[in-house]
Chains A and B, each alone.
Chain A
């Protein structure tokens, strides 16, 4: 005799198609460490689960979406192009913190994707409204 097993992911929540508010908080510059690329991998995976995905770029994380990156000279992958493909996965909620831009001398024109520039206080509010926050 065999029992019917519950498959992983076949729980009530998954079956009912609950959509959670996810936020990926990017705080690391793109090429000096592996964090930025790893978060981007998580973002792409989350897209497969039809979640309500938000991307926040604060501190050095906003350097990930700066235009004109060419890491061929340091033998690294130019994953900045992938950010331009995110709208194809219905990931269009990208936020950059104004205070961090000012600290780094960056303007909205420096970014390769459309973003919403918000204040630190607004970012804090946004974070508070999330169901899941993953930060690196």
Chain B
């Protein structure tokens, strides 16, 4: 299963709910305002770090760049993908769940 999240973790509980429902080995892709959740040192970082240990966590590069979130601030274990990588993820997983 591929989970996509597009809301800021500080404004909505979409990321928290996604992380609570994602099972081991699932893929989680953070896009749009959800990319803020991929950075170190935030109040949600511990939860995202724990998810990165049991799931594959990805973040969309163009959305990071748009928001000035540099890749060296990312939580360890998170992989940056471009739009082509986004497409690949949707192809690799038969089910995509969008946490809006």
Of chain A, the residue at the smallest CB distance from B65 is A70
**Which residues of A (57-75) have their CB < 8 Å from a CB of B?**
59-60, 63, 66-71, 73-74
Q: A27-35, A46-54, A119-127: which one contacts chain B? A: A27-35
Q: Which residues of A contact B67 (CB under 8 A)?
A: 29-31, 63, 66, 69, 71
Query: Beyond A31-B66, A70-B65, is A103–B11 a contact (Cβ under 8 Å)?
Result: no
* Interface band, chain B: 20 to 34
Residue contact B61 to A73, C-beta cutoff 8 Å: yes
Most B Cβ at <10 Å: residue of A32, A68, A74: A32
| Number of A-B contacts defined by CB within 8 Å | 66
* Interface band, chain A: 20 to 34
Q: B21-29, B39-47, B50-58, B87-95: which one contacts chain A? A: B39-47
Say yes or no for A104: interface residue by CB 8 A criterion: yes
Residue contact A59 to B68, C-beta cutoff 8 Å: no
